[in-house]
Structures are given as structure tokens and as C-alpha cells.
Structure 1
Amino acid sequence: MVADSFHTQPLRQFLQSVERYQVLALSLNKVQLFEGNRDSLEALSLASEVPRSSSDTSSDRQQTAHSSVSSYGGLGAGHSAMHHGQGGKKDGMDSEVERFFRAVDRAVQAHHSDVSGLPLMLAALPEHHHLFQAISHNPRLMKQGLHINPESLSPTELQQRAWAVAAPAQQAQQSAWCDDYTAAKAKGLGSDDLADVAHAATAGRVSTLLIEAGRLVAGRIDGTTGRIDYSELGYPRVDDVLDDLGTLVEKLGGQVHVLAAERMPTTTGVAASYRH
């Protein structure tokens, strides 16, 4: 297919958050990050800012003790130093763990989640899940996760268990998008008419666009008027209208998601929710 614009729909379908996800494999001894989909899960190179283990954030790197020395009546003959701890051993350990988790959360969000835009699944011991979820500020952290020491799993086991958790979450997200479209259309703020959607997209009115995966509509969209000039695929200067529509919506600040035909709420290849 010869065309002026680059055919991006297959790439968008591959990269969109509902199809891919990341896994933060977290223990006190090791931090790893993976990215994958239903078929694979591959380790990523961590940004240098991400702590590799709890020892990287240990207060022992900043001070050599947690106790202070006080004396009664002054230090001298007949007077002994009194050592007062700054909390029990368990309190100290809990503080160290929380410091470590906060550092991991900040760095992973800043250097990985915000960059990829993908949902993040936590794989950690059950006792670590509650704390990490409580302190995390990462909006992409999934509520669902793997409650197990990730170091006890082989790469294949981690991929299989992660997908078993991710798949239902992805299906729920797709259903939510479809429900949002149905609600918007009922209020007169949605359409599955391609010509209408193209005009709305050109005017910057489309907030969310659902596109049917693998569907091609030959033609071009006039970027000024939104008019569609239909043609046949294979002709020079002809592209896929749905692909160009998605690119236009994204450029003007809308969200675009590509769904399988059986998951789409319409049969026209598009479902758009409008801002106004």
C-alpha cells in the first residue's frame, strides 16, 4: 500500500496499554522489571535511579548506628554512658523497608511507567503488597498482582501467572471503554458513523476513539474539513482512513484504543465518544 502517511494501526494495537503490561518483581534482595503480553514476558534494563535492593536505600549508608549516647552527671570517673535506641529492631526494619519501597516506587514511576504508559503489576510477597500499595503514588499500579516471592518463579512461571492476572483486567478495561461509549451515545455524545466521527475528530471533539483491529477503509481525510475521500487500497496517495483517524484524534489530545471485532460495541469499525 502506497500512501502519504505511515500505517500505524498495527503498531498502536501492539503498544496500547490494554495489550501490554509491565511487572515489577520486588523483593528486599532484588528488583526486576518485565514487559510483555499474552505470549511473552521479557526483562527490561532498569534505569540507574531505580534501587536494585534494600541495601541501596539502607540508612547504614548514611550513618553507622541508630543510637545516641547520653550521660548523667557528665562523663568522667564513676559515670557511665547510657545508650538509648531510636526505636525497636522491628520498627527499624519496617522503616528501612518503607524507605526502600518509596524509592523504588518513585523511580519506577518516573523512569518507566510515565514513559511507557503501561499498567504495572506488582509481584511480591503477600506481606509486602499492602505496604507497597499503601505508599505508592503510581497511578498505573494495578490493584491485582502476584502474591508470591518472584525469585521463586522461573521466567515461564512468572509469565504464565502474570498473564492469568492481566487477562481479566484487560477484558474489564475493554468492557469499560465500550460501556462508556454506549453511555455517551445515549446522551448524544457518541457516534459510529465514520463520516460524522471524521468531522468531529477534525474539530478536536473526540475524547475517546475505539477502532476495530485489522479493518481497513481506503481513502483520505481532509485535515481541514474532515471530509473523507474514499478510494481503493493500493493506489498512490491513498491510506487507511481508520488509521489516519486514530492519528488525528491522538494529535488533538484524544485517546485511541484498538479492539478485536468481537469486542467492539459497533459494526462500522469505529466508536467515538465526544467531549461536547
Structure 2
Amino acid sequence: MTPQRIQSLLNDPSEVCVSLYMPMFRWGREVRQNEIRFKNLLKDVQQLLEKDEASTPETHHGILGQLKDFLHDIDQDVWKHPSAGLALFVTPDSLEVLSMGFAMEEQVHVGERFYLRPLLPALHGDGSFVVLAVSQKHVRLFEGNRDSLEERHPEDLPDNLKDALNIDDYITSIQHFSYATGNHVDTMYHGQGGGDDDHKANILQFFHRIDDPLSDYLEGREDPLIFAGVDYLFPIFKEASSYPQLLVDAIEGNFDEASVDELHQKALKVVEPYFQAETTEAIENYHDAYGRNCATDDLETILQAAQMGAIDTLLIREKTPIWGHLDEEGHVQQDASPGEFSLDLLDEAAVETLEKGGDVYVVRDADFPSEKHSAVAKLRFAIEATTSS
């Protein structure tokens, strides 16, 4: 997700724009519930269109027709290979589908533009990552996010060291002994009389044979790659790997018999600091700017600054919409619950900030830099701002 991608959604001209978000089941019998959930959301779309003053019978027909066609299109990849979240953006003349790497709250919005706030967490890492679990007996590749981990089977990725080196009698022609590290045991292989140098050369060749198909599979992606294996393998893998997003920390151990859930939990501990690093820096920069009178936590000031292009960085609290509207004098009036003319004011601030070239971070509740507010902003220049404490 990029600001440019969000901008392209904002540029879709229509008086009626439907935004639909839903989480998805990815495997097992529960996958069937994806279609049921979508049908229920389709009913919500119909009800909202009937209430929308800008909607016409032609509008209803165009939007609902596209959504029904999407539902019954068995060739749609999102039905065959569901991701953690699904986002649809529909006008009478267009439909755009986004598969997201994280679960999304079920919701439908109808308005003059698309409701984009649920996409914002993906601007700075959507939590997607890749795990390569390697021993000399097994090579396993997984794709994961905060919610789940799923095994993948890229073409040409070798299953083990023997397959990678293409030596049929490899196991029987060399001596081997057990190499123990902690409570984990892996097998190290040595050629006749070659010692540790030959062993490392074999492992290095093994990892080069892994790197080529892995690089092809990950081409164009920026997901962090986590290595999982016994500790002596990781330095050799780093020497062979050409993937730029390989994390410096690995998961140590032999995971040939580990469950996916176990590997997932260990991967999250390694990858979460990586995803959090940018946000942590943005929070620190906000605190620094606050001390120089170049920051604000006043919502009305934030909205004004966003329209002026004065926001460098906007931080908004995760899963905390602020529904409201502007009165006749342009002042913010918060609504207790969404009404006919309500807007998510944080969505408005975020969209304006991105349109003017600013940056937006969605911050977890526990890490948010203000206890009393759900939005704070680092400003490009000092303005007459109401900065409450």
C-alpha cells in the first residue's frame, strides 16, 4: 500500500462510492463462511444505497450488479486463495478489489468518496512476512502476518540438502555425526577427510541452490524474511542470500517437527520490532516537535493544518474513529454515533494529509503518545494551534 495507491482511489469520480471491508477465513471448512459474510454485507450495501440521497435506480443497478457478479465469479482469486482481509471499492462504473495481509473489521460505507481509513495500517508494513525454516533434511517456506502462518511451495525450491545438491548417494557416501545445540539436534555432514571446511562448502552450496528459486518467488516484494534453523546455519545462509530484506535476527532451533502455530509465535517475536521501528521513530519525532511548538493534539487544528498542507506526520490511534461534522462556522462537532451527515474525522485528516504529501501512521493504543487524544500531528511549520495537554 502506498500513498499513490490511496490517491488513485480518491481520484475515482463518482457521486456514490461504496467501500466494503471484511475479514476472511483462509483455510478449512470455515472458508465457506466467506461467501455467506459477503452476502450479508451485500444486503447492508443495498440498505445504505436506499438511504443515500445521491443514489438513483441506475446507481443501485450498477453497484449491486457488479458486487453480485463478483460474488458469483468462481475465477476470482480471492475466493480460491483468500487472504486475511478483503477490501472492495465500487462505483456504478468501476470495481477495485484489494487482498490485504491483515484481518479487517467487517463494515460498509456509502459516501461521496471511498472510506479509506482501514487501509492506513498497510502504509507502514501490513504485518506480512516470510519464514524460511531450514535443516539439512527439510526446507519449508511460509508466508505469515499477525493473524496466521501458511506454508507455500514455490517451484524449484529444493526439499532438502540431498535434492539441492542433486547427489543420489549423498547420504550413504559421506560420514555424518550429530551436532547438538541446546535441546535441538541437527545432522552435520562431512566429506571423506574434508573436515569443517568441506562441510561449510556443502552447506553454502545448499543455500545458493535455495536462494535462486526463493529470490524468484519474492521478486518485487519488500516483506521481511526470517530465517529459522540451528544457530550455525544462519551465518552461512546470510553469506548466500541475495534477498535485501533478510532480518538480522533469526529463529534458532530445528523446526522439522514443529507445528505451524509454534513457528508463528516465534516469528512474531522476531518481526514485531521490525514493523514497530518506523512508528517508534515517528512518535519520538512528534515528541521532539511538540517541545518546539511544531506539533498539536487538537483535532480542529489538525483538520485545519491538514487542509493547509501543514502536517508532516499524522499519528492516529488504532481502531478509534471520531464521528462528527463541521458546523456552519467550520468548527468541529463530534457525534455520539454515526449519523446521516457524520464523517470519520480521522479519515478526513488522514486523506488530506496524504494528498498534501504528508505521512500517516496508525499507532497501537498502548503506544499512542497521548492518553487523552486519538490524533496528534507533527507540523511542517508553526501555526496558530490550540495545543492541549
TM interval, short-chain normalised: 0.5 to 0.7
Worse-matched range after superposition: 134-143 or 157-166:
134-143
Partner in structure 2 of residue 4 of structure 1: 112
Q: Tell me, what secondary structure is at the counterpart of 2:219?
A: helix
Partner in structure 1 of residue 262 of structure 2: 157
Matched AA of 1:261: D
Q: 1:35 aligns with which of 133, 136, 144?
A: 144
Distance in 1, matches of 2:378 and 2:262, equals 39
1:153/1:251 CA distance change after superposition, 3 Å: farther
1:145 matched to 2:250: yes
Partner in structure 2 of residue 66 of structure 1: none
Distance in 2, matches of 1:147 and 1:140, equals 18
Deviations 1:126-172 (A, max 9, x none): 22322334555655433333112332311121123223444566666
Q: 1:183 aligns with which of 288, 302, 305?
A: 288
Normalized against structure 2, the TM-score is what?
0.49
Distance in 1, matches of 2:239 and 2:296, equals 40
Q: 2:209 aligns with which of 100, 114, 137?
A: 100
Deviation at 1:211, TM superposition (A): 0.5
Deviation at 1:35, TM superposition (A): 0.9
1:214/1:95 CA distance change after superposition, 3 Å: closer
Q: 2:343 aligns with which of 239, 249, 272?
A: 239
Does structure 2 retain, via aligned residues, the 8 Å contact 1:54–1:96?
no
Distance in 1, matches of 2:325 and 2:162, equals 55
1:142/1:191 CA distance change after superposition, 3 Å: farther
Matched AA of 1:106: S
Partner in structure 1 of residue 127 of structure 2: 20
Does structure 2 retain, via aligned residues, the 8 Å contact 1:201–1:249?
yes
Deviation at 1:177, TM superposition (A): 3.3
Distance in 2, matches of 1:107 and 1:124, equals 22
Does structure 1 retain, via aligned residues, the 8 Å contact 2:129–2:224?
yes
Distance in 2, matches of 1:44 and 1:182, equals 41
1:11/1:94 CA distance change after superposition, 3 Å: same
1:235/1:273 CA distance change after superposition, 3 Å: same
Q: 1:125 aligns with which of 230, 244, 247?
A: 230
Distance in 2, matches of 1:253 and 1:108, equals 32
Distance in 2, matches of 1:210 and 1:176, equals 12
Summarize the alignment of residues 146-225 of structure 1 with structure 2, pairs less than 5 Å apart: 146-167=251-272, 174-219=279-324
Gaps of at least 5 residues in structure 1 are 62-87, 222-226
Matched AA of 2:299: L
Worse-matched range after superposition: 234-243 or 133-142:
133-142
Matched AA of 2:235: H
Does structure 2 retain, via aligned residues, the 8 Å contact 1:36–1:42?
yes
Deviation >6 Å, runs of 4+: 54-57
1:102/1:179 CA distance change after superposition, 3 Å: same
Normalized against structure 1, the TM-score is what?
0.65
Partner in structure 2 of residue 51 of structure 1: 157
Does structure 2 retain, via aligned residues, the 8 Å contact 1:57–1:103?
no
Worse-matched range after superposition: 244-253 or 176-185:
244-253
Q: 1:260 aligns with which of 364, 377, 386?
A: 364
Does structure 2 retain, via aligned residues, the 8 Å contact 1:21–1:121?
no
Worse-matched range after superposition: 152-161 or 28-37:
28-37
Matched AA of 1:194: L
Matched AA of 2:117: Q
Does structure 1 retain, via aligned residues, the 8 Å contact 2:300–2:332?
no
Deviations 1:73-123 (A, max 9, x none): xxxxxxxxxxxxxxx854652441342354256335425x43xxx544332
Deviation at 1:243, TM superposition (A): 1.7
Distance in 1, matches of 2:163 and 2:292, equals 52
Q: Which has the higher contact order (CA 8 A, sep 6+)?
A: 1
Q: Tell me, what secondary structure is at the counterpart of 1:26?
A: strand
Distance in 2, matches of 1:167 and 1:192, equals 27
Deviations 1:25-53 (A, max 9, x none): 2325424122121xx422154665x7355
Deviations 1:174-197 (A, max 9, x none): 544322221233344433232333
Give RMSD over aligned pairs. 3.9
Matched AA of 2:363: L
Gaps of at least 5 residues in structure 2 are 1-108, 168-196, 382-389
1:177/1:104 CA distance change after superposition, 3 Å: farther
1:110 matched to 2:219: yes
Deviation at 1:241, TM superposition (A): 1.1
Residue-pair matches, total: 237
Does structure 2 retain, via aligned residues, the 8 Å contact 1:54–1:100?
no
